[in-house]
Amino acid sequence: MKNSKIIIIALCVLASLRFTAQKIEDASYRTLGYINDNGKVEDASYRTLGYINTNGKVEDASYRTLGYINANGKIEDASYKTLGYYNTSGKVEDASYRTLGYVKDGKVEDASYRTLGHYNKNVSDKNAAAAMFFFFFVK
């Protein structure tokens, strides 16, 4: 009986963790994935895609470095080559400062302001930019 109570408690904790995940969706509100409080990025089936660390390092599921989103908003690949920029007004630019789109207030838009995706307001704009850039929109 004691073991079954522990199992039930553990299942409840795991279920509650799923509900605190911060959702990322495409333009049609179809779930693309989740960013958990610990920075873990998962696809819609809860398979781990990678991690966004508090220092801005972005890693794949095997902890290989994909790149960085620095405190100043510079987005770099694993070799520190500049891929683009994200600024606090939500603009995302490529390495030549051409506007790629916008990530702000729960919405991801292209340069023409067409909606590409959505994210929970609990997700920071910076993490949403990193997740969209490294895991969902860049193949």
pLDDT digit string (tens) for 52-80? 888 889 999 999 998 898 888 888 889 99
Q: Report the alpha-carbon angle 55-123-72, nearest 5.
A: 40
Ordered domains of the chain (ranges, CATH) = 2-136 (2.40.160)
Nearest to 42 by CA among 54, 30, 50, 53: 50
Structure tokens at 31: 């779930």
- The rounded mean pLDDT for the chain is 78
Burial tier of 36 (Cβ tally within 10 Å: 0-12, 13-18, 19+): middle
Backbone angles phi, psi at 131, to 5 degrees: -65, -45
In sequence order, the β-bridge partners of residue 40 are: 51
Instruction: State mean pLDDT over 79-88.
Output: 88
pLDDT of 45 above 50:
yes
